[in-house]
Amino acid sequence: MQSQSRTGIEVKTSFFPLAFLLFLCTPTIVIDGAAHRAGWGTYYFDAAPGNHHVKIFFKYLFMSECGGNSINVMVQPGRVSRIKYHMPPWMLAKGSIKEV
């Protein structure tokens, strides 16, 4: 019996260690318009092969989309596309997002 490969998107979210107040914030990962609230860490989302739009942000004080940034990702059949999002220590900056 042949095992089936996963096809989807893996997202790793992190932040600068001294910005400890971000432990109180929950990132939102939006894939093609569908929002998923997730903690800081690594998460997997099933996604069909093709191009997908991924946006990541979190709520902080009066900002509804703090650190918001997005990327387009091409998911190949039978593969997992990996994205890394990192929030720098200043809250008014965009988080860095890249495919790894």
The residue whose two tokens read 């600068």 is 16
pLDDT category at 56 given cuts 50, 70, 90 is: very high
Domains of the chain, first to last? 8-99 (2.60.40.1120)
Exposure of 38 by Cβ count < 10 A (0-12 exposed, 13-18 middle, 19+ buried)?
A: middle
Of residues 22 and 56, the one with the higher pLDDT is 56
The residue-averaged pLDDT of 55-71 equals 93
- At 14-44, the pLDDT tens digits run 999 888 888 889 999 999 999 999 999 999 9
pLDDT digits (tens, 9 = 90+) for 76-100: 999 999 999 999 988 889 999 999 9
pLDDT at 4: 63
pLDDT at 2 over 80: no
Tokens 């929002």 belong to residue? 35
Question: What is the distance between the terminal CA atoms of the chain, rounded to a whole angstrom?
Answer: 31
